[in-house]
A and B are shown apart, each in its own frame.
Chain A
Amino acid sequence: MEQLRRERLDRSLKVRTEGIYAISAFEEILYLLGPRLLFIVGILILPFILEAAPYWKRVINIMCAYAIIAISFDFLSNFVGLVCLGGALFTGIGGYFTAIYNHYFSFPMYLSIPLAAVSGALFCTVVLLPALPLRGVYFAIVTLMYPLLFSRIIEALNILGGTNGISGIQSFPNPYIEHYTVILILLFFLFGLRRFVNEDIGLVFRGVKDNDQAVKASGINVTTIKIYAVFIASLMGCFSGAYIAHLYMWAGLSLFALDFSIIPIASTVIGGGGTLIGAVIGSFILVPLSEILREAGTLRIVIYCVVLTLFIVFKSEGLMIYLQRKYHQFERWVKV
């Protein structure tokens, strides 16, 4: 009689060494690439799937913009050890910079967004410089303060449109350019960063998180590393801010709103910190959720809080880490 036993799908991969995958068969390649391809193809055809629901098609944009901010938070907190509560600083600065370039200097959109991302990131890095020697919760508090500071300055001095903001910013010529700009940039940042944190220089960044004293003792200037990291993270945040400004054709004080700091953090918690993709999945859950809850009126925040609490209590490791583990535990029947 034929006997069967169960075998884990990744057995042939894991049996060699942890982490170093020697790929020898088509099935193994598919096993490793499958989830990735599913994600990439899924996100690329999403605008076509949602063709029938124009409202939800608009949600894709804001969802991806939040995802980029969430990746930047995940990168800074879980790979460099800087817990940055100032996501709104990045979006605000990026949004206002692109508004200035587009409105006052009438730069076209395809110039003002990248310019705002780079110059905004430089600006953010410079203003965060004094906070860089701080660690842990102290850095978090200081970064939380910055967006409030800038929105108060704009309000008090009544510059850059004051409380009305700057309106009449150029919009995207058609919805597909709108979708694919942000989707492609999201994929670029996601896979770029995933590659980056496993390169040699990325390992140095992770070293700073684990033990910055030892990095110093290896003759590396930790502050320089932190400056690079903040620049990368704020580049992503500023891009999101600039994109949102063009999406709404308006840059105002709400770009400095707490939402841009908090939702990315919640996304990272739900999705699983330290995976990068988890942050993306988290915002793909949270942003549509808050859209659905719009109809619930003021109860929205309550439901939102309950969902967050349930996640933290029952899946505190994060969705992505849970799924990854389950995926590696898939089994199949093989003949003995």
Chain B
Amino acid sequence: MKEEIILSVSNLSKSFGGLKALIDVSFQVKRGEIFGIIGPNGSGKTTLINCITGFIKPDSGKVHFKDRDITGFKPHKIAHMGIARTFQIMRPYYSLPAYKNLIVPLWSPRAKKLGGWRGGGKHGDRDTVAVDILEEIGFERDSRVPYKLASTLPTGYQKRLELARCIALRPEVIFCDEVFSGLSMSEIAGMIPLIEKMKMEGITLIMVEHRLRELFRVADRVMALNFGEKIAEGDPHEVIEDKRVKEAYLGSEGI
């Protein structure tokens, strides 16, 4: 059971006009692990997430989720099956207070069927469940922060809100698109226990990240992309020592 493959991507390719954003990318993610995807700017990390979660249709290749072919499904259908994602550019529902942001995932058909985070919110008590989730993810319950307008929250809280919106859906897999970027060291130190907690809950996390040091503290395995191609995969410390990965980050003359 431990080694069950939850997500399997095979030979995924996508090009935008002449630009090849992804070339034959294949990888597999096991249930319950934290899988990191690294690579320099423009290496196709976000495109990969978009292709898997249905926001972009891949040109070729297959995505299997729990042995089911989900290639080319609509985003809402993929989310309904249990794959949540955060967005690199944080866009909370600006006109709503922070806790009301979570009403949307809690109202979704998936949460109605299964219940949201830990089965709550099924019986219309969505406001309480929303505040519970926010407390879980580091909003001080008794402060005014959960009730503030989402647009007035500081970056660290907005990142947490993105994650909260994912876990409210009670997903099996979460794609985190650069959740550490733009955060201070202390804010990241606050995020890492959250990520470990989610892993303990049995959620599979796939993290796209620029902040390698912080990623390597939590990741079980990582994959490196460069110009849309997979150049390395495996244990984080082996991958970072890989010659091609070093070249990708530092340029070939740096070696």
A residues with a Cβ closer than 8 A to B are 17-20, 200-201, 203-204, 206-207, 209-211, 213-222, 274
Q: From the candidates B84, B85, B96, B126, name the one contacting A210 in the complex (CB within 8 A).
A: B96
13 further interface pairs, Cβ-Cβ under 8 Å (given A214-B91, A219-B111): A206-B96, A210-B91, A210-B94, A213-B87, A214-B87, A214-B165, A216-B75, A216-B76, A218-B79, A218-B169, A219-B108, A219-B109, A220-B108
CA distance A221 to B73 in the complex (A): 12
Q: From the candidates A200, A207, A222, name the one contacting B93 in the complex (CB within 8 A).
A: A207
Within 8 A of A (CB), among B150-180: 165, 168-169
B55 x A214 contact (CB < 8 A): no
CA distance A216 to B109 in the complex (A): 12
| B110: Cβ under 8 A from any A Cβ | yes
Known contacts being A210-B91, A211-B93, A217-B84, is A203 close to B103, with CB within 8 Å? yes
Question: CB-CB contacts of B93-108 with A at 8 A, as 1s and 0s?
Answer: 1111100110111111
| B80: Cβ under 8 A from any A Cβ | yes
CA distance A216 to B91 in the complex (A): 13
A220 x B107 contact (CB < 8 A): yes
A203 x B100 contact (CB < 8 A): yes
- Give the distance to chain A from B123, nearest Cβ to Cβ, in Å: 12
Among A200, A216, A218, A274, max chain B CB count under 10 A is at: A218
| B141: Cβ under 8 A from any A Cβ | no
CA distance A267 to B194 in the complex (A): 48
A218 x B92 contact (CB < 8 A): no
B79 x A18 contact (CB < 8 A): no
Q: A203 — which chain B residues lie within 8 A by C-beta?
A: 93, 96, 100, 103-104, 107
| B147: Cβ under 8 A from any A Cβ | yes
CA distance A58 to B251 in the complex (A): 79
CA distance A148 to B43 in the complex (A): 49
CA distance A207 to B76 in the complex (A): 14
B107 x A19 contact (CB < 8 A): no
Known contacts being A19-B97, A207-B93, is A200 close to B103, with CB within 8 Å? yes
CA distance A222 to B104 in the complex (A): 12
Q: B204 — which chain A residues lie within 8 A by C-beta?
A: none
B96 x A18 contact (CB < 8 A): no
- Give the distance to chain A from B107, nearest Cβ to Cβ, in Å: 5
Q: B80 — which chain A residues lie within 8 A by C-beta?
A: 219
A210 x B95 contact (CB < 8 A): yes
| B213: Cβ under 8 A from any A Cβ | no
B104 x A214 contact (CB < 8 A): yes
B109, closest chain A residue (CB): A219
- Give the distance to chain A from B169, nearest Cβ to Cβ, in Å: 6
Q: A222 — which chain B residues lie within 8 A by C-beta?
A: 76
Q: From the candidates B104, B105, B147, name the one contacting A17 in the complex (CB within 8 A).
A: B147
Q: B105 — which chain A residues lie within 8 A by C-beta?
A: 218-219
Question: CB-CB contacts of B58-76 with A at 8 A, as 1s and 0s?
Answer: 0000000000000000111
Q: From the candidates A20, A209, A221, name the one contacting B147 in the complex (CB within 8 A).
A: A20
B76 x A17 contact (CB < 8 A): no
| B197: Cβ under 8 A from any A Cβ | no
What are 24 A-B contacts defined by CB distance under 8 Å? A17-B147, A18-B97, A18-B147, A18-B148, A200-B124, A203-B104, A203-B107, A207-B101, A210-B96, A213-B87, A214-B87, A214-B92, A214-B165, A216-B75, A217-B76, A217-B87, A218-B76, A219-B76, A219-B77, A219-B105, A220-B104, A220-B107, A220-B108, A222-B76
| B144: Cβ under 8 A from any A Cβ | yes
**Chain B, interface size: which category?**
35 or more
A205, closest chain B residue (CB): B104
A221 x B76 contact (CB < 8 A): yes
Q: From the candidates A18, A19, A204, A221, name the one contacting B104 in the complex (CB within 8 A).
A: A204
Q: A216 — which chain B residues lie within 8 A by C-beta?
A: 55, 74-76, 79
- Give the distance to chain A from B49, nearest Cβ to Cβ, in Å: 11
Q: B92 — which chain A residues lie within 8 A by C-beta?
A: 210-211, 214
B151, closest chain A residue (CB): A210
B148, closest chain A residue (CB): A18
Known contacts being A207-B96, A214-B91, A219-B108, is A200 close to B165, with CB within 8 Å? no
B75, closest chain A residue (CB): A216
B166, closest chain A residue (CB): A217
Q: B165 — which chain A residues lie within 8 A by C-beta?
A: 214, 217-218
Within 8 A of A (CB), among B98-147: 100-101, 103-111, 124, 126, 144, 147
Q: B93 — which chain A residues lie within 8 A by C-beta?
A: 203, 206-207, 210-211, 214
B121, closest chain A residue (CB): A200
- Give the distance to chain A from B48, nearest Cβ to Cβ, in Å: 16
A211 x B91 contact (CB < 8 A): yes
A217 x B126 contact (CB < 8 A): no
The 4 nearest A-B residue pairs measured at CB: A219-B79, A219-B80, A210-B93, A218-B105
Q: From the candidates A18, A19, A211, A218, name the one contacting B108 in the complex (CB within 8 A).
A: A218
CA distance A200 to B77 in the complex (A): 21
CA distance A289 to B95 in the complex (A): 33
| B53: Cβ under 8 A from any A Cβ | yes
Question: CB-CB contacts of B25-63 with A at 8 A, as 1s and 0s?
Answer: 000000000000000000000000000010100000000
Question: CB-CB contacts of B227-249 with A at 8 A, as 1s and 0s?
Answer: 00000000000000000000000
A220 x B84 contact (CB < 8 A): no
CA distance A221 to B169 in the complex (A): 14
CA distance A211 to B105 in the complex (A): 13
